[in-house]
Each structure stands twice: as structure tokens, then as C-alpha cells.
Amino acid sequence: MVKRRVGRPRKVGRPRRNGRGIGSILSGVNKFLRKTKAISKIGSLLGSAGVPYASQVSGVAGSLGYGIRRRRRVIRRRRY
């Protein structure tokens, strides 16, 4: 005897999230923005183009971790 499926047929294709994955999507966007430093770069470009407050946005983004990091210089001692 062959069993029949009861209910809806399975959908083929891309699965939908139905709101469950919003947190993971936003987390991925946040990681991308921090990694590429996009907010700081775009803010400084728009600031040099004359858009008001854009340069201040890039400064704030830098302090929050979305900006260009200034690297510390490491002074190495010479061994004689």
C-alpha cells in the first residue's frame, strides 16, 4: 500500500524567512559596515563635496567602530 501525503505540497525553491531571520540579517549588515568602514568613507566623501553634517557623521562613526582606525606606531628597540 502506498502512503499519500496529506496537506500542502512542498515548495521548491528559495526558503522564506517569515521574519525569523531579521536579527541575523541585521547582524550581517552590521559586520559588513564595520569591516568595510563604509559609513566613515562615504561621510568623508560627502563632507568634502559640501554636504552639511556629513563630516561630523564620519567622525562619530569612527568613534563607534565604523570608521577608519588609526594605527599606533610601535617603536622597536635596536639590539646592539
The C-alpha atoms of residue 40 and residue 48 are separated, in whole angstroms, by 12
Does residue 38 or residue 13 have the better pLDDT? 38
59 belongs to a structural domain: yes
How is residue 67 annotated by DSSP?
Answer: S
51 belongs to a structural domain: yes
* Structural domain count, the chain: 1
Which structural domain, as residue segments, surrounds residue 53? 38-69
Give this prediction's pTM: 0.52
**Residue 66 burial by Cβ neighbours in a 10 Å radius (0-12, 13-18, 19+):** buried
pLDDT tens-digit profile of 39-72?
A: 888 888 888 888 888 888 888 888 888 876 656 6
